[in-house]
Every structure is written in structure tokens, then in C-alpha cells.
Structure 1
Amino acid sequence: MNEHLKEPLHNYMNQDDPGYALLITGEWGVGKTHTLLNLLSKDNVYYVSLYGLSSEVDIHNNVFNAMYPLKNKLQLITDKFKGLDISAFGLRMGVGNVLSEMVGSSFKEDIKKDKVIIFDDLERCQICLNKTLGAINKYIEHYGCRVIVICNDNHSKNELLVSKEKLFGLTLKVLPNIEEAYVHFTKHFTKNKIHNEFNKKFSKLILDIFRTSNVQSLRILKHTINDCLQLYSVLEEKHKNNQNCMRELFSLFIASTFEARNGNLIKDDLINRTEKINDFIFKKNKNEILSYTHNDDDTPKKENKETTPKIKIISDKYVSIPFQSKIISDDDLNDAIFNGNFNKTSICNSINSTSYFLDSRNVPNWVIIYSFYNVDNETLDNAIKGLKDEFTNRKVIISGEMLHLFHLMFMMSYFKEISETYEEIESQCKKYIDDLYSEGKIEPTEINRTFHFRKNRSYGGYGFWTQDDYKDNSERIISHLSEARRKSFIDKQPVIQENIIDTLKHDIRKFAKLVGYDDGQPGEYFNTPILSGIPIQKFIEAWLSNSKNQWMTVTHSLQIRYEDGRLEEELSDEKEWIKSLLQELEQLSLQETGFRRHCLEMLAPPELKEYAFG
């Protein structure tokens, strides 16, 4: 790799006064500087980075510094003596000025021509391109130097073309030396058992996928290797020992990471990737992507082609990689690639839910049907039969699983696996919800809280299988369930409030965690206006029944609860309640004197009053 550079570089280096510069180009991160310095040797070059330079003087100073590093150090010393005077023979003189004159006189020495000058990072120079090239040209025309300029592909392409014939006699492109780079990036892996184990298993896979990706940046390769190590470190030993499982997981992860880091994928592309790909394939098979209408003369007329999802385009690029695989959830894949977070528990749970580690008898029917494209017919038929039984006999009561059940009923109608229409299924799903509510089995939800299933449209690492054909039916089902959960919460609210008062009396810190934050996470009722409706006197009595040194715990939890304008949004139902509470505390404090009054006044600090009264 890059053997094509050796001869022209050798010929250029042997010229005394070439009269032109070489332009070295290549994609970002391809290793241009590394390759060039290896071919020429650092001892044969004066290396100058243009990164961040803002004037032509900066360029010339950096060339001088590269050629005369010792004199550069002396110049730095003279700067430190600026303003320092000495007296001798009745005269006063500035030490810095004297030294500067001595050094300055030596600056006028001829520019060295014994080595080639390399100007790197042309695209990162802060000076306009014409002035930068003009400054570089002085070393070619006036001093007869050999000069090489390194620049990313396509940077200021038009301006470079204008200057190319005058300044650059030859343009050479650096190609990524993938194998050599990989060895360099992983040479330290032998010192770490886990890293070395990973390298032996996946080096070929990484290199094969990198070639397929057509990504040119070796930096992306390096970052992806490091990402893979992080993923590998959170896996269980049984995962690592299952070769097929590892290939499926890492091929998906590596390809997705390459494409994301190269700017071809964003977070939204990976959300519901399975549904996007399968839906596109299904519509294509139904001739809904490329359909024909017939004119009076029976001539086919081509309609507009539907936009192909980006994830489908990427999937087609890597024909052997299962981008539909749920071996890692969409959320975990996004979190790892874009945020650098590798959730060990969630990732391992996803892997453990695959056919590699679970007997189909222990896998939920909805999970099997969700992966119908990767399941044998007998297992799939049994899962469909089981799902219908669960639907008929109302066996699924967890809200997230229930929505998967409902959406898969719609999906099976979509694929003509069952005969019911979308409207019939919607009616049956609503009755399912109503039946559970009447039996007191619907999970309660928080009042006025945005129903998170509507926002995320997923549960258990799987997105709800939704197609445009029944999207409106889906929205109505989610709304119906949301309302049923809200009513269930209201039904149980008195019992919950009694439990809150009891907790406030006997475990004030637990109370604070329930209504505020619990170990950095929102507490169970943090987004719930559950305090509204609790009698003020009863609340204060429970509060003040605790030892005095614990009273402020409640105040702090209420401050956290109501900050950031939350009384105007999700907790608006509590606004009048907190006002009444503060007013009652004020009345109690007025009935006391001295220390007792002060202790009660502290329970209603100005910040809390500001939240309540504005």
C-alpha cells in the first residue's frame, strides 16, 4: 500500500532546486502525515503544522523554529528579560533588548535547504488560502527549497486548482494502509489478556467490514476498535464462547459504528430499524414501491418511487450482516455508538433473550413473532397460537407487553396472517383494556404525565411494530390504555396517599425519595401530583411528628420537586396545595416565639415560596 509514493518522493528529494512543491492529499484520518514521515524519515524533514496559524509571520516563525530549534529557545529566554535593566560604566541598558538584538542578527541567516519543508494541516490554517500559499511559495521561488504540502481531499478544491499549476508540480494521494494501521493500533493488545483474546477473534471481521464500508479514515477504524473493546468487556463468558452469537452482534455493531462515524447514519436511522427494513421489503414485494397505473391505451405509467430508508440502503451495502437483528436493542446500539455508554445489564439481557440462549418455550410469544424472519415455521406457528390464546384469555397485563401484543395483532393482519381488519382488532384491543380495568388489573399511571409509551413507542428493547396503514389505530389504542391507567391511578389514589402519610410519619427519608429524587433518579411519585388532595393539617402533623433535626428533609425534597417551573407543568395540580401548605406553616410560626418560630419559618424558605407564588 502507498508504494506509488516512493519513486516520485525519491526523485523530488534528489532535486536541488525543483521550483515547485508536492501536494499530498487523502481523506481525513487516512494517515497522510504518518505515511509521509515514515517514507522520508523525520531526520530528513523540517516539519511545520499550519494548524491555528493566523498570519504569514506565524508561518515564517514556525519555519525558523523548525530549522533553528536552539535559537528559538534563546529567543524565548530573551522574552523573559524584557524590561530588565542593568547599569555598567554609568550607562543603563535593557538586558532583553541587548539579547534580542544578538539573536535577531542571527535570524538573518540563509534559509536551510538541506531538508525538505513539510507544511501540514493546510485546511486548518486560519489565514486565507491565497496568502498561505503565497507565504509557502517564497520558500520555493526565493530560497529554492523543496516543499511538500499536506491537505485533506476536496478542501478548498477550486482555489487549489487555480494555484496548482503554478505552485504544485505533482499531486500524490495517500491511500489507507489498513493492515499496517490495524497492527499499529493493536500492538499493545498482547499485554492485556482480554484485549488479546478479542483481537484473535475479531481482527479479520473488523478488517473485512472496514473494506466493505469504503471508509477511508483510519481514525474511524481506531475509534471503532476501541468501541468494540468496550462492548466486549461488558459481555458474559457464555456470550463470548458462542461464536455465532458473537459474529452476529459484532458484525452489526462494527458496520453501524463505521457508518455512523462516517456520517452516514444518525440516531433516528437506528430507531425501529427492524420495522423499517421489513416494512420496505414487504411494500416492495407488494409492488407498492414501484407500481404502475394504466392509461386508456393500457400503457404502464411509472409512479414516484418511495424513499428508501437509510438503514435499508446501509443494510444492502452489507449483504451478510443482519441489520434487522435484535441481538442488541435500538436504544443500546444508539447509546453505545453516539454516547459511548455501554449498559451491561440491558445489553446482556437482549443477548440472553435471543435464540442463542433461550429455549423457545421460555421466550415470550410476542418476542418470537417479532423475529418471524429468523424463526422456524413450527416455532412460529406455536407462538402465533399462544399469542391468540393470551389475547383471548387476557393473560398479558403488563402495559408494555400488552402494547406489543396489540401491535403484533395489527402486524399479522398487515401481513395477512390473520383475517381480522384493523378496525376489528382496534375494537377487540379496547375491549381487552376495558375488561382488565373492570377486574382491577390495569397498571395505574401518573396523572397528567406524558404517557411514555407514546413518546418512546417501545418496551423491553423492542419498538412497537407500527405501519402507516394502521398508525391511527395504534394511536387510539395507546390513548385508550393511557386513559384506563389514569383512571386506575385515581381509583387507587386514596390508598396511595394514606401510604405516603404513613411513610412521612415513620420513614421521612423514604418519603423524600418517593416525592423527590432517589439515588440520582426521579422518585416513584416525582412526576405525580399525588400530594394534591392530602389534607394540609394531616400532612403537617405527620411532618412535625419527626424529630426536629429531620424536618428540613421534607423542605429540601419539596424544593427539588417544584424547581424548574414544574408547578406550571406536570405538577400544576399541586400548586394550590403547596400554597395552602406554606400559608398554614406561616400561621403556625406566628403562634410561636423565639427559636420555635425560627425553626418553623425555616421550613418555608424564600425559594419554595417563589416556586409556589411566583
Structure 2
Amino acid sequence: MNLIEELKNYCDINNPVGALMLSGEWGCGKTYLIKTKFIPSVKDTYVFVCISLFGIDSLDKLRVEVKKKWLEKASEFDSLNGTKVSRVADSCRRIFDTIKDRLPENWQKKGEVVSSIMDLINFMPISNRMFEKKVILVFDDLERTNISCTDLLGCINDYCENQGFNTIIVANEEKIKDRSDNELSYREIKEKIVQRVIPFVPDYEEVVSNSIELMSCGIEYKGLLRKNEKLLVKILSGDFNDNAIIEQYKAKNYKLGSNKEREECQKEEEELRKLLAQRPHNIRSFKCAIQDFERVYNKLVKEDIQDCSNWLLSFTCLMMTNKAGLLQEITRYGHLFWYPNVEKLYPELFDDNFIVDGFSKWVIQGEWNEDVISKEIQLFLKKEKAATPLEILRTYNLPEVDEEIIDEGFKDLLIEVYAGNLSLDEYILFLYNCCYSRMYDFDLPTIDWEKVREGIRKQIKYLVESDEKDSHSHRMIGDDSKEHFTEDEWSAYQIIKEFRDNNVWIYEKNQKLYIALISSDLNVAFRELSNKRYNKFSLEMEAATINAFKNADNMDKNHFSGWFVGIWGQYSNSPEIEGQGTTVSLKKLRDDLNSVMQEYKEKGKNIAAGHTQNFIKKLEAIIKTESEDTTVEQ
């Protein structure tokens, strides 16, 4: 069916019996067809007055909007024929003068009522002809209005039947049914008012091709889009064999068992059918997907990903599903997200191996974290490069690995686990895979869990003592998953969780930095250490502090105590600082300073002794505050 010809034939009818409805899904291009293809093809024959019903909540506002758009269209003839427009303007002025003469005198002066030509809209007559041309009314977004369906269609019918306007309604008829209290009433109203409904199905190949060619983007990226054009058409058109998807589900899940299990499967099958029926075809969502993916593409290329096709297709599937409100987020072992609905809607094209969590968070939550995404892409590349059984088991989820590889490589993996040679994320993957082994009834070699916990502690010690950072942005185990893990597995994870939650790594790093800077460059220490986070003032930090103070000149000694108190003066009020251990170290610092002060006095270094005494007094005030707080608590 040629939609343009159908629309032309309707517009040719004089005194139509009813309106013509063009119905299709949201975002499928109905309005685009009307405004960019149909109207330009007949613009010399008809005058089109287009009204969006989006958000209009009363019939009075609707009638005003129709007249307003009619007058705006009339004003467009100004450049074509000024005389004709002047007739419209003269008519408006005559109405204005008539009303003004009848207004109270104070209103006439203030102009509080009928102050502009737009205020006269309610008094302006409109006709189905405009300068010898037939006027076609186009009502768009019918289902998005806040007026009841009965009242709205009745008003539109008045324009069509009583005023003789050819009227085109652009709508998503399914949404009108969804919001109607009684679908039968809508059908009855439609039968009297709508002459014919034309279903709109876009030419998806043309839409995708135009979207790609008209898109402003890099040459290389446009080449990627062209390369995958047919598969992008498949995603937008939803050209999937849904019957086969249903049959695959039934073959997998319908097994001999209790009636309750069968009823549950039948319920899930019905939910699957409903989901497939909602597969989106929204052109706007599709354009958003391929436009947003250019940023992803640039990031992938920067990280040395050679072929981005699977990433493009998976990203587009995810975006389409999310925009349609069909995304069902589920936390899965080893991942922040899992998307069963996307996999069901696009079974041949969506692969969550090509959707890292950082990209998902950007699509779903609008958060782009450059560092996290970079780490996740590097992890993907590491998986891609994994060749030996040991490398594969360190990077892949157990269900993705062949049994032969597990048998061959797991004992080697245990050696690395016990030795503390896995990253913390790899240890978490190891715990997940132990859990997977029970889910899939796969027997693993005997595991010594005390050695596993010791291996985790070795890795944590390595992180603390080295300059390497913990890549804790990748894997985690939620508390709601505890039931799936054994006590040994859970206790091993708690060591990692406690390390990360308590910021042990940050505290240890800052203590090391404190000792290093205060021992080497006081000016840098004064500048850099004040805003760091600490969980205690350790004996090692005390030793570095007393040595730094002794080696400082009097100028630095003068500033030393004030700077020190700025860091530790409120330690008793900080919930993250260990009070008892810090107090012990501060008392030792006070005692050491007393010894240093006596040395200065004996050597006649009275200025240095004065700075030291000032430092001691400030320390005693801090320690006294801690002692008072302890007494109050007791």
C-alpha cells in the first residue's frame, strides 16, 4: 500500500464522512512522513494546519490552538500575497474595535483584556478554505492529550462533519485502547468518527540508511555503521522468529514434573510472549543509540579494540530496550548487571560480553566513568588474550569454559590462589566459580580454604606495600547473594570486603606517604599531608615526626606544631581514627619532645626549646581532650 497515495485520495474527498487515522507505534516515523514527505508533495494544492495535542487538557484550549495555528498559517501568505493577508488583519481589527467599545472605560485604558491580536482568537471565524485552497487539519499525538477520548473525538468530529474540514489523525491506536476505561466505548466512538484507519509501518531499510548517511560523525565511525547496516535494520525492524524463540523456551523448560512447575512455566511463557510483542521499533531511540555509540567507539579504538561491530550491535539492543522501559536489571555472579530481557528480545545479536558495566551505567544511569571503563576494557582484552587453561580460568566465568580446560588448569589455579598471586577481582571470580560448580553439578578438586584466605591476605599485604592500586571497580558480591555461597567462600570474601569497605588501602598508603614526605621535605609535607585521611597515628609515624622536628630549622619548628595539630587536633571526634593506638603514639611523641627540649636547653638553644615547649603544650591539650572523652564514655 502506498501511504502517500492513500493520504492524497482522502484529501481529494469533498465533505468527508469522517476523519482518516494514521496509526503506528511511538517513534516509528508517522509525523516525519506527514511533514517531510506527504505535505511537501501536495503543498501547492492544500493548506495544512497541524496541531499537536500533547499536554492539551481542555476542549477550550484545543479550539484556541486550532484557531491560532489557522491564523499562523494564514500569515504565511504574507510573502505571497499581501492583499489577502490584509483582509484577515482588517477583520481582526474590526472585531477588536467592536469589543473595545463595549468594555468598561478603565479596561479600555489599561488594555487588561483583549490586548493583542492573539486575544481575539476566540472571536475569529475559521473556514475549511484559505484563499481558494482546501484546509486540511492534522491532529497529532492523539493519545498524549489529557482530554477524555469521548470528548476529544467528539470535538474533532465537529470540525470534520459540521465544519467540513478534511481531518487526519496521527496516533498510536494501541495506546488509546490501553488508557481507555472501556475499549468497546472507544471502538464505538471510532466507528462513528473515524472513516478509515491506515496502519503505518516504516521502510526500515530506508530509515536506517538515511539515519547513517545524514548523521554528522567521523568517517571511520560512519564506515562501521555502513558495514553493519543490515543488522541494524534487523534490530530496528525486529525481524526475529518469535515462534522459534517460544519453542526454544518450551523445549528447555517444559519437563515432566508437578502441576505447579508446569503452571509456573506456562506463566513465564505468557510473560515471554508479552515481552516479544513489545519489542520496540522507535526510530528516535535508534538514532540516539547510534549517535551515543560514537563516544563508545572512540573509547574502544583508543583502548586498541580492533573490531567494534559486536559492541555496536549489543549497545544498540541495550539502548532500544532501555528506552522502551523493558530493561530488567538483575545482579549476576561476576557482573554488576545482567539483561535477560535484552537477550530474549535480540537473541542473535545481543552479547553481554560486549557490554562492559561502565557502558551500561552510562546508558541506564547517565554516568560515564572514564577510569572504570578503561579498566573494564583492559579486562576484556585480557580475556581475549587468555590462551592457557590457567589464564582462561583466571578471567572467565566457569559456565563459559569447557570441562577439559577446567580439568587441566584448576590445580594450577589453586597454586596461584594459595600463593597470593591473583588480583582481588580474580579472587572474587574464583569464589563465583566455586559457586557455579555447584550450580552446574561439576566436581572441583579439593580446596584448602585456610590457604585461600591466607592467599587473599598476602595479596592485600602486597597492595599495601607496593604502589599498585586495587582495581575494586569491577567485581563484588551483594549481601543478597550470600545464600548461594558456603561459609568458607563467604568468609574469604569478607576479608576482601573489609579491606575495601574500611579503606585500609587508602589509610596504609597515606601513612606511608606521611612518613616519606615528613622525612624528606617538610615544605611538601606541610602542603600535601593536611587533607589526607588517616585511621591512626602509628608508632612509625611518631618516629618519623620526632626525627623531622629535630632536623627542622627554627622557622619550620615554629610552624610545625600548628600544622601537626591541624591534622590530629580533633582525632578524638573522628569515627574513622583508632583512638587508643593514636593516644599511645601521641604520648610517646610528647615524651620524646620533652627529651629533645632538655637537650636544646642544655646546649643553650633557647628558641628551639621554646618551639618544642609550645609543641608539647598543644599535644597535652589534645591528649587531655581524648582522656576527658574517655572518662565521659565510662
Shorter-chain TM-score bucket reads 0.5 to 0.7
Q: Does 1:330 align with 2:357?
A: yes
Q: Does 1:235 align with 2:300?
A: yes
Q: Does 1:254 align with 2:316?
A: yes
**Match of residue 453, structure 2, among 410, 433, 456:** 433
Partner amino acid, structure 2, of 1:260: N
SS, match of residue 315 in structure 2: helix
Partner amino acid, structure 1, of 2:417: F
Partner amino acid, structure 2, of 1:269: I
How far apart, in 2, do the equivalents of 1:403 and 1:51 lie? 51
After TM superposition, list the pairs within 5 Å mapping 1:401-412 onto structure 2.
401-412=426-437
User: For residues 18 and 443 of structure 1, do their structure 2 counterparts lie closer, same or farther at Cα, with a shift above 3 Å needed?
Assistant: same
**Match of residue 218, structure 1, among 266, 272, 283:** 283
Task: Specify the alignment match of 1:164 in structure 2.
Answer: 190
Structure 2 residue runs of 5 or longer lacking an equivalent are 77-88, 101-106, 241-278, 587-617, 623-634
RMSD: 5.5
User: For residues 41 and 51 of structure 1, do their structure 2 counterparts lie closer, same or farther at Cα, with a shift above 3 Å needed?
Assistant: same
Sequence identity percentage: 18
How far apart, in 1, do the equivalents of 2:375 and 2:445 lie? 35
How far apart, in 2, do the equivalents of 1:412 and 1:147 lie? 65
Partner amino acid, structure 1, of 2:282: S
The superposition leaves residues 457-499 of structure 1 with CA deviations (integer Å, 9 ceiling, x where unpaired) of x957456697954355432222245568979889999877756
Report the alpha carbon displacement of residue 440 of structure 1 after superposing the two structures with TM: 9.1
How far apart, in 1, do the equivalents of 2:377 and 2:118 lie? 69
The superposition leaves residues 154-176 of structure 1 with CA deviations (integer Å, 9 ceiling, x where unpaired) of 33423633421232222222223
Q: Does 1:69 align with 2:82?
A: no
User: For residues 150 and 322 of structure 1, do their structure 2 counterparts lie closer, same or farther at Cα, with a shift above 3 Å needed?
Assistant: closer
After TM superposition, list the pairs within 5 Å mapping 1:113-512 onto structure 2.
113=129, 114-157=134-177, 158=180, 160-189=186-215, 192-210=218-236, 211-212=238-239, 214-236=279-301, 239=304, 241-242=306-307, 246-266=308-328, 268-269=329-330, 271-272=332-333, 311-312=339-340, 314-321=342-349, 323=351, 325=353, 327-339=354-366, 341=368, 343=370, 345-355=374-384, 358=385, 360=387, 364-370=391-397, 373=400, 377=404, 381-392=407-418, 394-396=419-421, 398-412=423-437, 415=440, 417-419=442-444, 425=447, 428-434=448-454, 441=461, 461-462=474-475, 469-470=484-485, 472-481=487-496, 498=515, 506-512=524-530
User: For residues 146 and 362 of structure 1, do their structure 2 counterparts lie closer, same or farther at Cα, with a shift above 3 Å needed?
Assistant: same
The superposition leaves residues 104-124 of structure 1 with CA deviations (integer Å, 9 ceiling, x where unpaired) of 599544423412100112233
Q: Does 1:31 align with 2:29?
A: yes
Report the alpha carbon displacement of residue 21 of structure 1 after superposing the two structures with TM: 1.4
Report the alpha carbon displacement of residue 217 of structure 1 after superposing the two structures with TM: 1.2
Partner amino acid, structure 1, of 2:576: L
SS, match of residue 20 in structure 2: strand
How far apart, in 2, do the equivalents of 1:107 and 1:262 lie? 43
How far apart, in 1, do the equivalents of 2:51 and 2:148 lie? 17
Partner amino acid, structure 2, of 1:225: I
SS, match of residue 195 in structure 2: strand
Report the alpha carbon displacement of residue 209 of structure 1 after superposing the two structures with TM: 2.8
- May I ask how many residue pairs the two structures share in their alignment? 497
TM-score when scaled to structure 1? 0.64
Report the alpha carbon displacement of residue 442 of structure 1 after superposing the two structures with TM: 6.5
Q: Does 1:571 align with 2:571?
A: no
How far apart, in 1, do the equivalents of 2:229 and 2:121 lie? 57
How far apart, in 2, do the equivalents of 1:479 and 1:551 lie? 40
CA contact (8 A) 2:399 2:436 kept: no
Task: Specify the alignment match of 2:52 in structure 1.
Answer: 49
More helix as a share of residues: 2
User: For residues 484 and 193 of structure 1, do their structure 2 counterparts lie closer, same or farther at Cα, with a shift above 3 Å needed?
Assistant: closer
Report the alpha carbon displacement of residue 572 of structure 1 after superposing the two structures with TM: 7.3
Report the alpha carbon displacement of residue 31 of structure 1 after superposing the two structures with TM: 1.3
The superposition leaves residues 14-63 of structure 1 with CA deviations (integer Å, 9 ceiling, x where unpaired) of 22111311222221111111123345315332111122334333322222
How far apart, in 1, do the equivalents of 2:319 and 2:453 lie? 41
CA contact (8 A) 1:55 1:127 kept: yes
Q: Does 1:111 align with 2:127?
A: yes
CA contact (8 A) 1:234 1:342 kept: no
Report the alpha carbon displacement of residue 143 of structure 1 after superposing the two structures with TM: 0.8
CA contact (8 A) 2:422 2:459 kept: no
Task: Specify the alignment match of 1:15 in structure 2.
Answer: 13
SS, match of residue 132 in structure 1: helix
Report the alpha carbon displacement of residue 403 of structure 1 after superposing the two structures with TM: 3.1
The superposition leaves residues 563-583 of structure 1 with CA deviations (integer Å, 9 ceiling, x where unpaired) of xxx978x637579999xx9xx
SS, match of residue 236 in structure 1: helix
Report the alpha carbon displacement of residue 386 of structure 1 after superposing the two structures with TM: 2.3
The superposition leaves residues 244-294 of structure 1 with CA deviations (integer Å, 9 ceiling, x where unpaired) of xx343333323222222222224x336548799xxxxxxxxxxxxxxxxxx
CA contact (8 A) 1:350 1:461 kept: no
How far apart, in 1, do the equivalents of 2:429 and 2:376 lie? 20
CA contact (8 A) 2:319 2:363 kept: no
Partner amino acid, structure 2, of 1:383: G
Report the alpha carbon displacement of residue 433 of structure 1 after superposing the two structures with TM: 2.5
> Which of 138-147 and 124-133 deviates more?
124-133
User: For residues 143 and 572 of structure 1, do their structure 2 counterparts lie closer, same or farther at Cα, with a shift above 3 Å needed?
Assistant: farther
Partner amino acid, structure 2, of 1:207: V
The superposition leaves residues 181-220 of structure 1 with CA deviations (integer Å, 9 ceiling, x where unpaired) of 2233222347741332222222222222332474221111
User: For residues 190 and 55 of structure 1, do their structure 2 counterparts lie closer, same or farther at Cα, with a shift above 3 Å needed?
Assistant: closer
CA contact (8 A) 2:280 2:320 kept: yes
SS, match of residue 41 in structure 1: helix
How far apart, in 1, do the equivalents of 2:281 and 2:426 lie? 43
